Structure 1
Amino acid sequence: MRQKGLFKKALVLRKRGFSFREIHEKTGIAKSTTSLWLRDIDLSKKAKKRINNLRIRGRKKAAETNKKKREIESRVISEKVESYFDKISYPLVDPQIACALLYWCEGSKHKANATVSFINADPEMIKYFLYVFRNSFNLNEKKFRALVHLHEYHDVKKQLKFWSDIT
């Protein structure tokens, strides 16, 4: 049974474009009851616009919250991984296995091609792969080649110098 005073107050708020949550907060009426009482009310363009703006702001706020949550989770995972690797003694890590794992993840697997291609944009990963590759196998350094993909906005000289130092 509706309490006339509360219903009228809720109706006025709804017609002014207040959301069911806002009406609940201002009147104490349960959101489910608010929805039941007011769901068939025709809203003016102004009221619809206000409610739509609330939705848009809510989505933006949720996106920001989710982004922060993902960043925190990522940071926690990174810290755990770093902590784990800090405890590992590198002489215990077989360089050939490390090289094979990196190649398995980032290498080209074209069987017809007798080359080793390692594709990655992380300078540290490339540096480490080349380190374990060079120190794990008997290689002819003269056969090493590097291919750098650049876009028109890159400074070619700077990029070639940078990647030459890495490799």
Structure 2
Amino acid sequence: MNMAKRYKENQINEIKEIRKKEKLSFKELERRYKIPGSTIKNWCKGTVGTKWDYLILNNERRRKEIRESENTCIPLSYEIGKEQSKFLASLLYGCEGSKYPAQKGVAFANSDPGLIITFLSLLRKAFDLDMKKFSVHLQIHNTHNFDELKKYWSNLLNLPEECFIKPTVTTPKGGKHREVYLGTCTLRYYDYRIQLKLLGIFEAFLRSFVPN
């Protein structure tokens, strides 16, 4: 007896489509549709994707759920005030920024556009800045188009292209390469007092965890 006859054709097709699109396991489909997983498995024979493919995708889904499980604690950007911005900027700078006196002024370098724009946004909220004191340096590969990358970073950071100095051009070495690499951006702001303030906040924060 063909048990599939108990179910409507459009429901079977819907489940097969969901399986293909969302890469759900048979157990997940069973819980969602209240239909035995073994029945769904019979329906899905011959569909694209191996057991290993689905295992990987299910693991990725679980990791994503865990990563996002505490996202409700993140304040919205417009809710972060001046003092909070100063503190958050100091944490980022203490971890990723250049230290005094090796660099006399704010210098923050990273290849992650999200990290660079986050730091700059916090810095702008925390301090009254002078556009003339900014400069941007890009380290790029010889396979890149500097003008295109300069335009990208200029739009992202809301800084004029006149702020960009001559780039450092390197040749990619063998091995694995990142699929999307937009260069390493070094954002500089020539005011050592702001640099010292950021480092002072960061160092005081670290000391607060050290027993007297």
Q: Normalised by the size of structure 2, how large is the TM-score?
A: 0.41
Unaligned segments of structure 1, at least 5 residues: 1-62
Q: 1:80 aligns with which of 56, 69, 79?
A: 69
State the distance in 2 between where 1:81 and 1:153 align: 40
CA drift of 1:96 comes to: 0.4
1:95-133, Cα deviation, whole Å (9 max, x unpaired): 100110111122122523212111112222211211111
Structure 1 residues 89, 81: closer, same or farther in 2, change over 3 A?
Answer: farther
More helix by share: 1
| C-alpha distance 155-89 of structure 1, shift in aligned 2 (>3 A) | closer
Contact 1:107-1:119 at 8 Å conserved across structures: yes
Moved over 4 A (4+): 63-70, 86-89
Amino acid at match of 2:153: W
Matches within 5 A, 1:43-62: none
Secondary structure of the residue aligned to 1:147 is strand
Match in the other structure for 2:80: 91
Aligned partner (choices 122, 134, 138) of residue 148 of structure 1 = 138
The two structures, once aligned, show a CA RMSD in angstroms of: 3.1
Q: State the 1:89 CA deviation.
A: 7.9
Cα distance in structure 1, aligned partners of 2:97 and 2:135 = 15
Aligned length: 107
* Structure 2: gaps of 5 or more residues: 1-51, 158-212
Secondary structure at the counterpart of residue 143 of structure 2: coil
Q: Report if the CA contact (8 A) 1:126-1:166 is conserved.
A: no
Q: For 2:135 and 2:70, locate their aligned partners in 1 and report how far apart those are by CA, in whole Å.
A: 32
Instruction: Determine if contact 1:99/1:129 at 8 Å carries over to the other structure.
Output: yes
Listed as ranges, the matches of 1:111-122 within 5 Å are 111-122=101-112
Q: 1:144 to 1:127 in 2, by over 3 A?
A: same
Contact 1:108 1:117 (C-alpha < 8 Å) held by counterparts: yes
Q: CA shift at 1:147, angstroms?
A: 0.7
Supply the AA of the counterpart residue of 2:140. L
> SS of the counterpart of 1:146?
strand
Distance 1:87 1:137 in 2: 19
TM-score by structure 1 length? 0.51
Partner residue of 2:149? 159
